Amino acid sequence: MNRKIPAAPMIFLLVFLLVWEIAVRATGVPAWLLPAPGQVAGTLADMLPLLLEHSRSTALAAAVGLAAAILVALFLAALMDFAPWIRQGVYPLLVVSQTIPIISVAPLFIIWFGYGILPKVVVVALVCFFPVAVSMIEGMQAADPDMVNLLRVMGSSRWQVIRLVRFPAALPSFFAGFKIAGTYAVMGAVIGEWLGATSGLGVFMTRAAYAYQLDRVFAAIIIISLISLLLFAAIEILARLVMPWYYKERSKG
C-alpha cells in the first residue's frame, strides 16, 4: 500500500532551492540575470512592508473581481437551466469567448475605465467567470433525474426544482470551479496591473523588471503565490462548511 508523505513537496522544494543556490554561486551568474534564493529571501525581508502595501491593492481587486464573477456565473447558470433556449444560444458563446486572450483586450479596459481599480476588477471577473459558470452549469445538468421528475410530479415549479435539487447537486462542481477561479483571480489582478495601474504587485514587478532588479521580481512572485494559496485555502474551508455531507462521504470512500 502506498502511503502519502506530507513532507514530500517541501523536501523537493528545499532540494530545488539548494541546487539553485549552489548553481548560481558556482557559475557566477550575475544577480541581475538570476539572483540566488538567499538573495531573494533577503530582498523579501527588506521589501516586505512595501510588498504588503502593494498586496492590499492586488488582493482587493482579486476579491472583488472573483465575487462579481461568482454572482454573474450563478445567475447565468440558473437562467440557463430555467430556459434551455438561453443555454443553447449562450453556452457556445461562452466557449468561443475563451479563445480570446484576456491580455489582448485588457488594454481596452484601461482606455474605457482609467487606471483605478475598476479595470483590474473587470479583468479578474472575466478570467474567473468561465470555470465557475461551466462547472455550475454542468453540475446542475448532472442532478438526479429521478428527483427532478419526482418534484415535477408533485407540482413543483421550475425554480423550486432548481433550488431544491439542481443547485445542491451542483455544489461539488461549483466549488471545484470556484477553486480554479480562485487561483486565477490573483493572476488576473496582476495582469491588469501590468497593463496600467498606480499600485499593486503587478506595478511593483514591472518597475523592478525595468530596473533589472530580478530579486524584487522573485520576491513579488512569492507574495503572489502566498496570496493565491491563502485564497485557495479559504475556498476549501468554505466548501467544507457548506457541504459537510460531501466531505464526510468522501472520507469514507
Q: Which domain holds residue 161?
A: 36-252
Maximum separation of any 2 CA atoms in the chain, in Å: 76
Q: Is residue 9 part of a domain?
A: no
**What was the pLDDT predicted at 19?**
92
What are the grid coordinates assigned to 249, written together? 462521504
Which CATH number goes with the domain that contains 85?
A: 1.10.3720.10
45 falls within a domain: yes
Give residues with Cβ within 8 angstroms of 148, minimum separation 6.
161, 165, 166
Task: Note down pLDDT in tens along the chain; length 253 residues.
Answer: 455 556 778 888 899 989 998 998 888 888 888 899 999 999 999 999 999 999 999 999 999 999 999 999 988 888 887 777 887 888 888 888 777 777 777 778 778 887 778 888 888 998 898 889 888 888 888 777 888 788 788 877 778 787 788 888 888 889 999 999 998 899 889 988 887 777 889 999 999 999 899 999 999 999 999 999 999 999 999 999 988 888 787 776 5
Instruction: Note whether residue 51 is domain-resident.
Output: yes
In a domain, 10, yes or no: no
Residue 115 lies in a domain: yes
29 in any annotated domain:
no
Does 186 map to a domain? yes
Task: Residue 184: name the closest of 115, 116, 110, 235 by CA.
Answer: 235
| Inside any domain, residue 58 | yes
Tell me how far CA of residue 218 lies from CA of 39, 41, 225, in angstroms: 10, 9, 11
Domains held by the chain: number:
1
